Amino acid sequence: MRGHTAPKTVPQRIVFTCIGVLLMATTMAIYNKYLVYGSFSVELFKQVGIAFCQKAPVAFILQFFFVQKFAGKQAAKYPTENRIVYQCIRTGFTVLIMCPIMCLYSNIINMIQFHWTVGKLMEAWISKMPINWVFAFGVQIWFLGPINRFLFGKIFAKQKSAAQSGKLS
């Protein structure tokens, strides 16, 4: 497909995952903090920075070592020539795994910080997970996924053109 660039090597996977985590962790932190604060403020963005630092390393490890492989294997079970359909399926599996885990992790941090009971943890996790999943899936399909692939393509454009010219020779 014209313009499509996917990571092929481990360094490319690292860059692709870093871009994706940077975009998604920041967006989800802004979204969740906005739900708490109700408006954009300096305090909201301070809290977003803290949340990003707490969650991005965990998100990277999960995504890089487990979820990318799982989502790829699951998406392969639904063969299609349509790249958009494939991306929706793969993204669906990615969000299906990442959202509950990261929502639980976030609420465990809140449990420790605010001395929640396990009951409060479960209540917060179960109530936040559906709204986070819907938002995460939509924003990943329509905005962040395409931005990630665009940026990744720009970063590795020279490698891609060199590989293509090597194939043509």
| 96 domain residue, yes or no | yes
Q: What is the pLDDT of residues 54-101, one digit of tens each?
A: 999 999 999 999 999 999 999 999 989 998 899 999 999 999 999 999
In a domain, 3, yes or no: no
Does 81 map to a domain? yes
Query: How does DSSP classify residue 78?
Result: S
Answer yes or no: is 14 within a domain. Answer: yes
Q: Residue 5: inside a domain, yes or no?
A: no
Give the helix/strand (H/E) hosting 81: none
Residue type, 164: Q
- The predicted-structure confidence for 14-39, as pLDDT tens digits, reads as follows 999 999 999 999 999 999 999 988 99
CA dist., res. 152 & res. 119, Å (int): 42
Domain span at residue 157? 10-162
Q: Name the phi and psi angles at 11, rounded to 5.
A: -60, -35
Judge whether 4 lies within some domain.
no
Count of domains forming the chain? 1
**H-run or E-run covering 125:** helix 118-139
Query: Does residue 56 lie in a domain region?
Result: yes
